[in-house]
Structure 1
Amino acid sequence: MNEFRIACFAGLLAAFGLARPASAAERPSVVLVITDDQGYGDLAAHGNAMIKTPNLDKLHERSVRLADFHVDPTCAPTRAALLTGRYSARVGVWHTIMGRSILRGDEVTMADVFQRAGYRTGMFGKWHLGDNHPYRPQDRGFDEVLCHGGGGVGQAPDYWGNDYFDDTYFHNGKPEKQAGYCTDVWFNAAIEFIRSTPDRPFFCYLATNAPHAPYLVDPKYSEPYRARGVPSPMAEFYGMISNIDENLARLTRTLADLKRIDNTIFIFMTDNGTAAGAAGGKSPSGGWRGFNAAMRGQKGSQYDGGHRVPCFIHWPAGQLAAGRDVSQLTAHVDLLPTLIELCGLETPASVSFDGTSIARPLRGEPAGWPDRTLFVAVNRLDHPEPWRRTAVLTERWRLIDGKELYDITADPGQAADISARQPEVVARLRSQYESHWRDISRRFDQYVRLVLGAEEENPATISSHDWHAENVPWNHRQIAQMPEWNGVWQIEAAVAGRYRFALMQRPPEARFPLRAVSARLKVGGFDEVQPVAQGAVEAVFEVDLPAGPASMQTWLVEAGGAQRGAFYVRVERLPARRK
């Protein structure tokens, strides 16, 4: 059945608890900046002697720092957990593609909570939790949105031809041409959002796609690193971070100029371990090998280097002491319950958070803080498997894949497996993981379906990014290579009616002639083949669909027999016929 029911969702919001809210006048605003693929070691304040991040260093100096803060090892799962306060797999997100990066429609987001409290909410940059209604940021509590598609600029759901410079992004769902470099565009939009909200508290979620690959940046940022012996692509990666650092100064200066910086909770964090800031086993030819703060693992790893990241929280009006570390084990799932407490917001009573408020440790009151257990997994599959690339975390221990055990206090580099010497610890942590798996896996058999024919997005364009398949062409470069791959979309017709399906090999704006002589569409009980006219940019089928779920697959076949799925399909529910 449909993952998104308006009535159900309204019920969730109506069921918010009765925690005493602060008055609107005294509530702080919130800015949450999250960068993409920047690791713990990719800033100077953490000991990197090569990178130049003066403004991040200043923020580090003036903030409370979560010194043992963990996220998921890849992007979409981290965002899902961050914005819901619940484990990513629980809310339907355990991959970055394959239809498994879409946040379940019945989840309450951080933006929903702030919006209901009267905040103006804005989202700028990378969303990566669904590109179609009802999963877009504007459907999930954000009043103002400027974002790219998919998990990065140039990925399949993104506007065709985007390359970080002078791109077309989606402004409240509509494509709009922008001028300048992507990171500059996001910060410009966030600054304008803040300036245009003088009389209300705001929640600004600024999620840069940088420094995620492809590593494209003005050479003025990368060349200084090249000159000092940093190899490519690390020099470009560092250059992208330097550009972020420069923009961070503009943002904080705006808050200061508006006299709002003291009563703004300003959070900086990243979404996973470094992608290109540590050489690892790649052995670049001479020069700088990068810095990973002596941690094992990088992006995508179950070791700490894959998921321990920076998190700085700055709020002078909240009496958060500057320059202090919180040593307790914390995670992305803690930030929503923490912000609810700090801002005096109403708690959604129908939601059970996996995280907990860390307001007390932030205020320097750690007494009685429990030795908790957290869970990390890398399950980049259509159907998750238990114990696959997992980490069970406590303040002292790391259990990896249910087998390796590390005392993180004595061995932060996770070099010496002591599982044979601590079998009782292994058994205890394994038991906790098994209980956790039983709890989060209850809905793993349910798809988060692409909803077609809804009034809020009709027509809708879907892409191969969300195929359920072994091979998924998830970016423009792959699609341009025309791989002979295919996959299935799991869809839901919002209402019964006649639907028009236009099969394409590029999105509508590209107007790309099909390389095919025949096309086939299979959706629900419909399965037909038709010829493709030479030069046609789409193959069109009209189908009567009942309301409800269905599987959908397409084929475009060349004269020589080569075939592949349509990488894009534009689906429109047609007006009802007059009787």
Structure 2
Amino acid sequence: MVFQMQSLTRRQLNAAALILLWAHAVAATNAAQAKPNLLLIMADDVGCDAIGCYGGQSHPTPHIDALAQGGMKFNHAYSMPVCHPSRVCLMTGRYPFRFGAEGMKWGDFPDAAEGISIGDRFKQAGYATAVAGKWQLCMMKNDLQHPRRVGFDSWCLFGWHEGGRYHDPLIYQDGRLRDDTLGKYGPDLYVEFLVDFIRQSRQDGKPFFAYYPMALCHDVTDDLKGRHVAYSKDGRWMTYAEMISSMDDMIGRLVAALERLKIREETLILFTTDNGTPAASYLTVDADGKMVRPKVFSIRDGDVVPGGKGKHDDTGTRVPLIANWPGRIQPGSHADEMVDLTDYLPTLADIAGLGDEDVFRDGISFAPLLLGQPRELKRDWIYTEHRGKRAIRSPQFRLYDDGRFFDLAVDSKEQSPLSNEQLSGDAAEEFKQLSKRLGQMRPAAK
């Protein structure tokens, strides 16, 4: 009888332990569900003209178009003219000039931004965090732990200006150089890494923040000390059209993975790009071994659109932005309010319910737009900067720091600047307000 009582006690204890484990798992799952998963995708060198749902006719983009059909398409999303300042904006929610010379130092990340980046924000809130693709915020071989210092638990990033990003890529993963990339295609590896990360986060019962700054559709680099990066499988590099197709395929694979893992309805996807389509793209090498870079054009709504990367006009800075979250964002909806890359960090923080923070951001959350709620604050201007040149625009006008002023409603291609001496009415008032704002967008005097 004593033995039976002891045996029963052990069974009861085991049962109690199982109940506690089950309760812990349920609690972890509920906590994860309370904070949505976040997948932020930023393609490289892709303007609106290259995307089907934005009127692009040169390149089929069925997976991106499906995100727009099932979510919200923004008609006035903006970036910086080129990739590095765009990444500073997205990572910090601040304009590069806020960090002084460090903010515009190519291939570097301001020391003052460590601890306040988008990765830090979500890691501190209990998210599992990862980044894969293009970093461009340090020379990775000299700073193997840099992504960790700005909030990412794990990373899979090609060595910017160190080697290839596509075929036989040079990739650093979690602080070490991968030795298994020969004969492989970089974008495949970045997506596989993110899918593994998402699967592990789900198993751990943690919400995830996955940042995917794509290698696609930037061309190969020509500055690797006289040597060329690996060719494509058939002896040439991909055309811009082929890169667009591959970009769309990678996005489709990520969405399919979320569906397989049954977390699609728990995940907000934002898709955007870092600047407009490039004016030219390296495609091959001539008989003398020199890289050849023909011009890039797209057809959009029947018009031929040359690539505008590097320009402050709409061909260089007006970019796609699509938000998709089944059951939360109205399918097929549109947003005409202006947003820029500094807005993404505060928006995602709002969506995740992270609350207020004691950190200055230039960005303004557009989370209410996504959820169909009234928005108290909204943008009435967009600021851009690149290599010492600056511009600012309102919904109708754009002002450059050299004084050129355009009415975009009648001159969208900016062919005929208005004469400042002859301005009147709305144009005169806009010029005054934009001039004042542009004057304020400078580093504080020391």
TM-score bracket for the superposition, by shorter chain length: 0.7 to 0.9
Separation (CA, whole Å) in 2 of partners of 1:128 and 1:200: 28
Q: Are 2:113 and 1:110 equivalent residues in the alignment?
A: no
Q: Superposition pairs for residues 11-22 of structure 1, below 5 Å?
A: none
CA drift at 1:368: 5.5
CA drift at 1:126: 0.9
CA drift at 1:129: 1.3
Of 418, 425, 429 in structure 1, the residue corresponding to residue 430 of structure 2 is 425
Partner of 2:15: none
CA drift at 1:367: 6.1
Matched letter for residue 441 of structure 2: H
SS at match of 1:147: strand
1:171–1:345 distance in 2 versus 1, CA, 3 Å: same
CA drift at 1:324: 1.3
Q: After superposition, what is the alpha-carbon deviation per residue over 1:98-145, rounded to whole angstroms, capped at 9, x for unaligned? A: xxx323244411111111111110110111112344981121100011
Partner of 1:309: 319
CA drift at 1:190: 0.7
Report % sequence identity.
27
Of 202, 210, 225 in structure 1, the residue corresponding to residue 208 of structure 2 is 202
TM-score (norm 1): 0.61
8 A Cα contact 2:277 2:315, kept in partner: yes
Matched letter for residue 401 of structure 1: D
1:166–1:219 distance in 2 versus 1, CA, 3 Å: closer
Q: Are 2:70 and 1:70 equivalent residues in the alignment?
A: no
1:183–1:353 distance in 2 versus 1, CA, 3 Å: same
1:283–1:122 distance in 2 versus 1, CA, 3 Å: closer
SS at match of 1:312: strand
Q: Which has the higher strand share?
A: 1
SS at match of 2:74: strand
Q: After superposition, what is the alpha-carbon deviation per residue over 1:529-548, rounded to whole angstroms, capped at 9, x for unaligned? A: xxxxxxxxxxxxxxxxxxxx
SS at match of 1:375: strand
Partner of 1:331: 340
Q: Superposition pairs for residues 77-226 of structure 1, below 5 Å?
A: 77-91=85-99, 92-97=102-107, 101-107=108-114, 108-131=116-139, 132-133=142-143, 136-150=146-160, 155=161, 158=162, 161-162=163-164, 164-179=166-181, 180-198=184-202, 199-214=205-220, 218=232
Q: Are 2:60 and 1:36 equivalent residues in the alignment?
A: no
Q: After superposition, what is the alpha-carbon deviation per residue over 1:24-47, rounded to whole angstroms, capped at 9, x for unaligned? A: 431100011111111121122222
CA drift at 1:219: 6.9
Q: After superposition, what is the alpha-carbon deviation per residue over 1:384-404, rounded to whole angstroms, capped at 9, x for unaligned? A: xxxx43211212221123422
Separation (CA, whole Å) in 2 of partners of 1:333 and 1:174: 31
TM-score (norm 2): 0.78
Separation (CA, whole Å) in 1 of partners of 2:362 and 2:186: 33
RMSD, aligned α-carbons: 3.0
CA drift at 1:173: 1.5
Partner of 2:271: 268
Partner of 1:298: 308
Q: Are 2:357 and 1:348 equivalent residues in the alignment?
A: yes
Q: After superposition, what is the alpha-carbon deviation per residue over 1:229-275, rounded to whole angstroms, capped at 9, x for unaligned? A: xxxx8x71110111111121111011011111111011111111111
Of 51, 64, 74 in structure 2, the residue corresponding to residue 56 of structure 1 is 64
Q: Which has the higher helix share?
A: 2
Separation (CA, whole Å) in 1 of partners of 2:126 and 2:294: 51
* Higher RCO structure, 1 or 2 (CA under 8 Å, sep 6+): 2
Matched letter for residue 344 of structure 1: G
Q: Any unmatched runs of 5+ in structure 1? A: 1-21, 223-232, 380-387, 444-579
CA drift at 1:277: 7.3
Separation (CA, whole Å) in 2 of partners of 1:140 and 1:396: 37
CA drift at 1:433: 0.9
8 A Cα contact 1:399 1:429, kept in partner: yes
Q: Are 2:376 and 1:374 equivalent residues in the alignment?
A: no
SS at match of 2:34: coil
Q: How many residues align?
A: 384
SS at match of 1:316: coil
CA drift at 1:218: 4.6
Separation (CA, whole Å) in 2 of partners of 1:269 and 1:218: 26
Q: After superposition, what is the alpha-carbon deviation per residue over 1:483-504, rounded to whole angstroms, capped at 9, x for unaligned? A: xxxxxxxxxxxxxxxxxxxxxx
8 A Cα contact 2:63 2:252, kept in partner: yes
